[in-house]
Structure 1
């Protein structure tokens, strides 16, 4: 009788065990025990060595694929990510420069500088040229009033006498008086004051006005020696040659038919002098003076 080999004994035991397990699984595949039988069969599959080897191989493949995908990223995605990071960094630098005074901080020299695309050229349309403003015409300066030349003395008169004679003639022209009236007025002034604007020693007030000497014939003043006490006017008025001449012409107008009177008669009708014939001696000289001034 051969001794029993332990290895064969174990093999026999395994076959009997497998046979019993298979019988048990076969029995549970029918009736109400189909679901437990399937679970047991799946558990046996999971615990088997081939399954574990396949599972380990699959896990290794997945890890390799993942590692490859991580280590070899898509080039286009990388460029997009880099561009976005650079744009964000440039925007941050611009924001820092615009909100503080520190302009010396520069980007890290080790980091790549962003490549800025050239900005589109903006075409500037020239604005229409405004027409040049017309120069304003310069205002013509008004001529300064010039003093009329003083009349040249005639008939043996001085310049002062000739100036006073001109005042008498100019007032007569303003009043539209005829030339004969001007001769009567100049001849009267020659007799009364010798064509000088005189003050009066009797009236101290008369010396406070412009004068060319003084007389002592009562209160008579001015070119025509008119008396304030006789109602001719105030001392101030009678010391003004132009006003005194106007008073004489107005009084001459009131003499009826004065145009037909002689020079002496017309002058006496106005002045009522104590020497009525004295005016006649001045008629020729007065005529010469009026002719030179008109």
Structure 2
């Protein structure tokens, strides 16, 4: 009986691993749970579920539209296209010489193999072609996508229109707090500070946000000592950065949410632990399943916009 029980447990564990990405997490009462890592976007009555790898690419596609100043419609078209062409995955092959997120072909002038397999390059190449389509903003998604892709199955893009709209609305910031990921905790990274006063993980977050969104990033001093933060803040350990979107207004609120939800979409890749914006907080690990929660800032005198993180996105890493 003892041997049979052990076999059943092993078999169950194998099934769980094969079923998808899993992380073992521990509740406060030390009961182990198997967490299936996933991300969701919910807008009105539609919920879209992605695995963390798909979420990374969806986040990049939407963030690139925001960074280029394109409307959410452009992100919807790009997301529907990537859904149809690759299932939101960076494929190393496809029909004939098709490659990558959008199954672009070197032989059709989209770029070299290495370029197309770079998701940043491929996404910008798609938008470069889309903005040349006159009136794409008012076209049906399937028509606009076909104008760029020239697919043998032009009507197939319509199958993904609803999911693409939902993801685009959430990830471009038009639906605040609508995108979240349920992720297990990540092992702590290198704590040795770089020349910027940040740990390598925090420095990478800073570099990617500045490159993609061209936003001021601060909240730390060159020697790694933060100023203006509560004792115990991750800033003091060089594990946190603040992405400023001041002054507080409707446009910056939308942009702030786009940045915040992009960071959540990249959390497993970048080792992100916490994201705070607009008096809301998301955390990886045990509470990630709660999504975006109300954030209660420390009680102290000061500017409420700063305390509630309404003029900047705070992110810290493991």
Same fold (TM over 0.5): no
Higher strand share: 2
Higher helix share: 1
Query: TM-score interval w.r.t. the shorter chain?
Result: 0.3 to 0.5
TM-score by length of 2: 0.40
For CA contacts below 8 A with separation 6 or more, give which structure has more relative contact order.
2
